[in-house]
Amino acid sequence: MTYILGLSAYYHDSAAAILKNGEIVAAAQEERFTRIKGDSSFPAHAVNYCLQTAGITEHEIDHVVFYEHPLTHFERLTSIYHLSAPKSIKSYLQAFPAWLTNKLWTDQIINRELDRKGAVHCCDHHLSHAAAAFYPSPFEDAAIITIDGVGEWSTTTYGYGSGNKFNLLKEMRFPNSVGLLYSAFTYFTGFKINSGEYKLMGLAPYGKPRFVDIILKEIIHLEQDGSIQLNQRYFDYIGGLTMTNANFAELFEGPPRIPESPLTQREMDIAASIQAVLNIIVTKMALHVKEETQAKNLVLAGGVALNVVSSGILSSKQIFDSLWIQPAAGDAGSSLGAALWYWHSVLQQPRNIQKPDSMKGSFLGSDIPPTSTEDDEILKKLGASWIVLPDNELHKKIAELIASENVVGLARGRMEWGPRALGARSILGDARSSKMQSHMNLKIKFRESFRPFAPMVLAEDATSYFEIPEESPYMLFAYPVKEEHRIPLTPEQQKLWGIDLLNVPRSTIPAVTHVDYSARVQTIDKQRNPFVHGVISEFKKITGCSVIINTSFNVRGEPIVNTAEDAYRCFMATDIDYLVIGNRLLYRKEQKGTPLNDEERNKWLRRFDLD
């Protein structure tokens, strides 16, 4: 029996994953345990969870694999600081103490944390991404593209995999980076880098892409193969403390937006423009990789692979027959990729290709069982009261509650791996309700009103609602709502612009239809998610509709809930009407614990840094 522990840490989204003879046993991000969004510390809690799930101790781990080469990363930093001195002195003074006292000795720190002796193997950052994308995919062979901010030196790679082997054929190197380009615009529009990129994407449909020509003429040089060169005249991330500079601001009509200040049409137009440019870049890359590899299938990883708009366009264009994206496509997922790389590429073990894939629905995190004495005791101490229902009755009850415009929190089974809530730690609502988007954003999520919600749809009915060419079980593609479900704008509504479009119903499922008639679709099948499939099937019987809202079970700035206690505390601090924990059903108005007043709620919300 061979156990391999994969780790990512010390930058953002620390995580751990464990394999048993090549099978994925468990994987989790540290933030879910510590409740610190994007926690970058050593993933001690995630490691403990993985070991417990595998049923072993740290001394029974055969191989430990880290998701990048720290020395090569350090080489890049020293090279950049040297070339950009003296400008880089402030950045140097901020970064180097951590490297000299900590990060350069990653192998020793990992062994100390694990109380073990032995080698800590390192996998190149983009090899980790590529392995995470290719090895769990359902394809015998596939082209591979990885796109992120930066690894050691690589920022984008492509290659080809077959059986248990893959090779990366070409790379784009720092400082030229598609991920850093998108992050620069994230920063400039007032959102937080490494977490606010999805806000920029969600804001884009409210604007017009009037800055596209400026970006293509001044900011980047775009090659036919999708590679780019960034004009460093407009950036400050090489040795500086910000992403952009005054020259950038001059191009885009003023200084960066102050975080949390009101959004203007300028930010919406900037978002629309950089999203349009990203779509062009990613499409060109895919066309080039298709020509170079002649592969039928494509797999993707890296943070940019989480941009559902560009991925949805790739899927819809059908450049490749099939497209598969690692559900944890960012750096957290590289812990899994590093372990898989070592098993298949170093130990040269064969690959067991599974259908629909090897990710087990991405439900690889810690478990909330249907009932447990431990959870009962915790919930009673918090003042919780509940009834217990079997699965079939819960399906019907949840469906009835949603159909009556109640909001239901759902926390049961193993937690999701990756940034998307997929039905184990989700908040559910009625997609047919025109008021549900603003209600859930402002009263439950406590976040910006413009942000769209995702639809869950029965896999067998997905093509009835969306222009969807393939399944989307991990909520990684945006697809158009079908024409027959759209509500055309009236002449008066056609005159509206920007955020004024927010409250205009766009379809028969308005709560999950964005202003451009798109939706970030999650298809629900019996194999991966039998419980939620049962809920939506009952909802369909009641309403005739196969679509409900799914959003992550958390508030703004909070990691997705992990435990029964996390779920109950979030439930009591928000306006969620009902809560399901395992097979317990809790009604908000019947709880013995006192709901938080505004002052207490604000104090609780301040625990979480705004994203």
The pLDDT tens digits of the residues spanning 523-538 come to 999 999 999 999 999 9
Phi, psi of 431 (to 5 degrees): -70, -15
| Residue 374: CB atoms within 10 Å | 10
Helix (H, G, I), strand (E, B) or coil at 480: strand
* pLDDT band per the 50, 70, 90 thresholds, residue 493: confident
Instruction: Identify residue 187 by its one-letter amino acid code.
Output: Y
Secondary structure of residue 501 in the 3-state scheme: helix
> What's phi and psi for 58, nearest 5 deg?
-65, -25
C-alpha count within 13 angstroms, C-beta hemisphere, residue 250: 7
Q: How far apart are the first and last CA of the chain?
A: 42
Which SS3 state, helix, strand or coil, does residue 409 take?
A: strand
Q: What is the DSSP letter of 48?
A: H
Decide: helix, strand or coil at residue 575. coil
Span 546-566, mean pLDDT?
A: 96
Residue range 89-147, pLDDT digits in tens: 777 677 767 776 777 789 999 999 999 989 999 999 999 999 999 999 999 999 999 99
For 241-269, the pLDDT digits (tens) are 899 999 999 999 999 999 999 999 999 99
**pLDDT at residue 596 in the model:** 64
Q: Summarize the confidence of residues 318-322 as an average pLDDT.
A: 97
Confidence of residue 470 (pLDDT cuts 50, 70, 90): very high
Q: Which of 300, 277, 261 is nearest to 185 (CA)?
A: 277
At 592 the pLDDT is: 80
CA distance 311 to 300: 9
- Burial of residue 111 (CB within 10 Å: 0-12, 13-18, 19+) is middle
Give the closest residue to 281 by CA, choosing from 311, 245, 242.
311
Closest by Cα among 274, 279, 275, 253 to 264: 253
Burial class (CB in 10 A: 0-12, 13-18, 19+), 543: middle
Task: Check whether 443 has a pLDDT greater than 90.
Answer: no
Q: Which of 87-101, 223-237, 590-604 has the highest mean pLDDT?
A: 223-237
The answer to whether 222 touches 274, Cβ cutoff 8 Å, is no
Rounded Cα gap, residues 53 and 62, in angstroms = 16
pTM assigned to the model: 0.95
Q: Strand, helix or coil at 355?
A: coil
pLDDT-derived band at 562, boundaries 50, 70, 90: very high
Which three-class secondary structure state does DSSP give residue 524? strand
- CA-CA-CA-CA torsion sign (487, 491, 492, 496): positive
Q: Strand pairing of 578-581 and 584-587?
A: antiparallel
86: preceding bond cis by omega (within 30 degrees): yes
Helices (H), 194-261: 197-203, 212-214, 246-251
**How confident is the model over 500-516, as pLDDT tens digits?**
777 788 999 999 999 99
- What pLDDT, on the 0 to 100 scale, is given for residue 607? 72
User: Do 574 and 566 touch, CB atoms closer than 8 A?
Assistant: no
Assign 446 a pLDDT band (cuts: 50, 70, 90): confident
Structure tokens at 135: 């090895």
What is the token pair recorded at 369? 């069982």
Give me the pLDDT at residue 364, please: 98
Q: Coil, helix or strand for 603?
A: helix
CA dist., res. 462 & res. 521, Å (int) = 9
Strand, coil or helix: 27: strand
3-state secondary structure of 115: coil
Q: How many residues does the chain have?
A: 611
| pLDDT for res 445 | 82
Residue range 38-77, pLDDT digits in tens: 999 999 999 999 999 999 999 999 999 999 999 888 788 7
The phi and psi torsions of 311 (rounded to 5 degrees) equal: -65, -40
Contact 445, 290 (CB under 8 A): no
What's the token pair of residue 295? 């592969």
Nearest to 518 by CA among 509, 526, 529: 509
pLDDT at 208: 95
Residue 104 amino acid letter: L
List pLDDT tens digits, range 342-363. 999 999 999 999 999 999 999 9
Q: Of 543, 508, 512, 329, whose CA–CA distance to 427 is shortest? A: 512
Q: How confident is the model at residue 597 (pLDDT cuts 50, 70, 90)?
A: low
Which residues of 460-517 form beta strands (DSSP E)?
477-480
Asked if 14 contacts 40 with a C-beta cutoff of 8 angstroms, the reply is: yes
pLDDT at 92: 63
Tokens of 105: 């000795």
Question: What Rg, from alpha-carbon coordinates, does the chain have?
Answer: 23
Residue 593 confidence (pLDDT) = 63
Supply the mean pLDDT for the chain: 93
Cα within 13 Å of Cα(33), Cβ side: 22
Banded pLDDT at 604 (limits 50, 70, 90):
low
Q: What is the pLDDT of residues 385-442, one digit of tens each?
A: 999 999 999 999 999 999 999 999 999 999 999 999 999 999 999 999 988 888 888 8
Amino acid 100: pLDDT: 67
Q: Which of 535, 540, 580 is nearest to 412 (CA)?
A: 580
Distance CA 596, CA 581 (A): 20
Contact 124, 135 (CB under 8 A): no
Q: Rounded to an integer, what distance in angstroms lies between the CA atom of residue 456 and that of residue 462?
A: 9
Domains observed in the chain: 3-129+329-361 (3.30.420.40), 178-323 (3.30.420.40), 363-605 (3.90.870.20)
Contacts for 22 with CB less than 8 Å, ≥ 6 apart? 2, 340, 343, 344, 349, 351, 352
Closest CA to 454 of 482, 486, 431: 431
Q: Quick one: pLDDT at residue 524?
A: 98
- What are the Cα distances from residue 468, in Å, to 309, 317, 521, 585? 13, 11, 9, 34
What is residue 76's predicted lDDT score, i.e. its pLDDT?
85
Of the pLDDT bands very low, low, confident and very high (cuts 50, 70, 90), residue 451 is: confident
pLDDT beyond 90 at 80: no
- Out of 75-89, 335-349, 559-573, least confident range: 75-89
β pairing state of 120-122 and 228-230 = unpaired
| Chain position carrying tokens 């019947």 | 590
Q: What is the percent of the chain with per-residue pLDDT over 70, rounded to a whole number? A: 97
**Helix/strand/coil (H, E, C) string of 256-317?**
CCCCCCCCCHHHHHHHHHHHHHHHHHHHHHHHHHHHHHCCCEEEEECHHHHCHHHHHHHHHH
- pLDDT score recorded for residue 511: 93
